[in-house]
Structure 1
Amino acid sequence: MVVTVVMPAYNEEATIEEGVQRVRRVPLNVEIVAVNDASRDRTGEVLDRLKQDGLVDKVIHQPKNKGKGAAVRAGINAAGGDVIVIQDADLEYDPMEYPVLLEPIRLNKADAVFGSRFQSGPRRVLYFWHSVGNRFLTLLSNMLTDLNLTDMETCYKMVRADLLKSLPLVSNRFGFEPEVTARLARAGARIWEVPISYSGRTYAEGKKIDWRDGLAALWHILRFNLFSGNRVRR
């Protein structure tokens, strides 16, 4: 079973190479599809070199910055594996947990597996209000999708490739997480959660998400569950 790792990156020259190296150490058959979202630093150059060295399988250069959602969609379209997992380039998530995410899919128990930062995995202690915001957004998403997730906003979502490619995803920026969750629920996907570790960055270390992204996520939860013919009825 081939796992395609879609790695969106924007201005991550300081971490992208280490991120790729960590993925390559995973004991699975992995394809890496890296998407440079029109970075203003040397991210694109680093990715091209890593591709020449055989560490990255495919590099996509977005002509202009469109956001994480658009970068992820580009990576999904280029994916050639049996399952797809999203991997941010900022080193907050540990690729060594891919086998844990893959197991329910391998056993044909799940179509999609979410890695939860709020179950029993170790995590770096950082921002209280980020935690509150994540839990609120997850609660609202659960109310509208009739799921019982603990971490809707997690980056780690591993999905069967045929299913993920069939979803009509349109979000360009940080609306990807609530959108893909809503569309998976609407499709009747079997969704599992597994605990993962999390080593969050501080803003000084390069963290990009702020309160405006939280408001945008709130809008996208409402948009894709109430206004896009996506509300789940069970």
Structure 2
Amino acid sequence: MSDYDDVCVLLPTMDEVETVARVVEAFRDAGINEVLVIDGGSTDGTQSAAREAGARVVEQSGRGKGQAVREAVRDHIEAPYVVMADADATYDVTDVDAMLDPLLAGDADHVIGNRFADMRPGAMTRLNRIGNRVINLSFRTIHGKNFRDILSGYRAFTRDSFLRLHLTADGFGIETEMAVECVKNQLSVAVVPITYRERPGGSATNLHPIRDGGVIFLELYRKAKTNNPLFYFGSLGAISTTAGGIMTAYVLYRWFAFGISHEVIAIGAVGATILGIQLLIFGVLADMIHSLHHEQVARYERLAADRTGDSASGQRADRPADRAPEQSTDERTDRSTQGSIASGEGTEPPLHGDN
């Protein structure tokens, strides 16, 4: 019996016939027999290669990595623990023990592999490295957590915790969305160092740095609306107020310096300033509501925990071992009879026959 019988490895794939078989075999050699490959409609033989290597292969119903991950976990995986990785052989399978340890020990609900801890030469271009750093810094600024590498595709999580996340991203924004949702749902997250290698020759990446980077930034900012409304509305308000201030300064300068009035620009400046101030106020109010919501949720969770504890205490008190041993029916009858005789109750008067 394997130590990882409760673990399923999830590999989203799209035209990765060059590497998928070796990744599947490596995970199976590591002691994880359940490997699920969910494929996005590859035309290069990826599905056949994965199936021959011992994986269970499912073709996703939609498109994109995010949709594949959601569909796989919700519809095709029953194991309580899931390891998510890429099928491009850039992750070291021997790191799976470190990824699973916090989950199996009950110390975390979600584990992120930090690629920057041991990134091999050529594993990431300079542009991608800078983009990753900027996105991680933005995440830390917006959401107040330092997960070090929120774009890492090497994850491990409990299936129950995954089902608590509200995920909608279809593409490569799924990793960012998972990180944001972990913060929003107050899940316990562990970050472990992993090795990140260069893609083997012959395999091509499906990631487009500019396009997918823009999608990730938009996803990160969009999620701030519900997780950090002060930043979301405050930043928009600051931009609008700044624009109004610049236009106001321009109108005043032209008026005093040259006596030229710009009525249209002046109206725009007033509108932008008012809108900006309103957005700032709305951000403050939304942040207050957000804080109160978290306090209420925490209060309900404490009450639920207290009730669960009281219920468990009551059940222990009702156990037969906690009660005095019950008397047998004969013993109760004898005691009742003795009590009645002693008190003079329960005895019939003597019979008087007719004389």
Q: Which category describes the TM-score, using the shorter chain as reference length? A: 0.7 to 0.9
8 Å contact kept, 2:13–2:40: yes
List gaps (5 residues or longer) in structure 2.
229-289, 295-355
Give a deviation string over 1:104-141, Cα, whole Å, max 9, x none.
Answer: 2222221111110112x252334111111001111111
Q: Greater CA deviation, 153-162 or 163-172?
A: 163-172
The answer to whether residue 7 in structure 2 is matched with residue 3 in structure 1 is yes
One-letter amino acid of the structure 1 residue matched with residue 64 of structure 2: G
Counterpart of 2:109 in structure 1 is 111
- CA drift of 1:83 comes to 1.3
Query: Which residue of the other structure, out of 67, 72, 75, is the alignment partner of 2:69?
Result: 72
Cα distance in 2 for residues equivalent to 1:197 and 1:49? 27
Cα distance in 2 for residues equivalent to 1:11 and 1:61? 12
- CA drift of 1:63 comes to 4.4
**SS class of match (1:80):** coil
Query: Which residue of the other structure, out of 20, 29, 32, is the alignment partner of 2:24?
Result: 20
Counterpart of 1:140 in structure 2 is 138
Between the aligned residues of both structures, percent identity stands at 26
Higher strand share: 1
One-letter amino acid of the structure 2 residue matched with residue 162 of structure 1: D
With over 3 angstroms needed to count, the CA separation of the structure-2 counterparts of 1:122 and 1:173, relative to structure 1, is: closer
Tell me: higher relative CO, structure 1 or 2? Use CA pairs within 8 A at least 6 residues apart.
1
8 Å contact kept, 1:124–1:198: no
One-letter amino acid of the structure 2 residue matched with residue 3 of structure 1: V
Counterpart of 1:160 in structure 2 is 158
Counterpart of 2:147 in structure 1 is 149
- CA drift of 1:4 comes to 1.3
TM-score by length of 2: 0.59
- CA drift of 1:48 comes to 3.7
Counterpart of 1:35 in structure 2 is 38
With over 3 angstroms needed to count, the CA separation of the structure-2 counterparts of 1:96 and 1:203, relative to structure 1, is: closer
- CA drift of 1:169 comes to 1.4
- CA drift of 1:69 comes to 0.7
One-letter amino acid of the structure 2 residue matched with residue 215 of structure 1: G
Cα distance in 2 for residues equivalent to 1:147 and 1:30? 34
Q: How does 1:65-214 map to 2 (within 5 A)?
A: 66-77=63-74, 78-119=76-117, 121-125=118-122, 126-201=124-199, 205-210=203-208, 211-214=210-213
The answer to whether residue 62 in structure 2 is matched with residue 44 in structure 1 is no
**SS class of match (2:116):** coil
Cα distance in 1 for residues equivalent to 2:213 and 2:27? 28
8 Å contact kept, 1:149–1:193: yes
One-letter amino acid of the structure 2 residue matched with residue 19 of structure 1: V
- CA drift of 1:166 comes to 2.4
Cα distance in 2 for residues equivalent to 1:93 and 1:208? 16
Q: Greater CA deviation, 145-154 or 198-207?
A: 198-207
**SS class of match (1:197):** strand
Counterpart of 2:285 in structure 1 is none
Aligned length: 224
One-letter amino acid of the structure 2 residue matched with residue 71 of structure 1: A
8 Å contact kept, 1:38–1:63: no
One-letter amino acid of the structure 1 residue matched with residue 41 of structure 2: A
With over 3 angstroms needed to count, the CA separation of the structure-2 counterparts of 1:84 and 1:45, relative to structure 1, is: same
Cα distance in 2 for residues equivalent to 1:137 and 1:21? 33
**SS class of match (2:196):** coil
- CA drift of 1:165 comes to 2.0
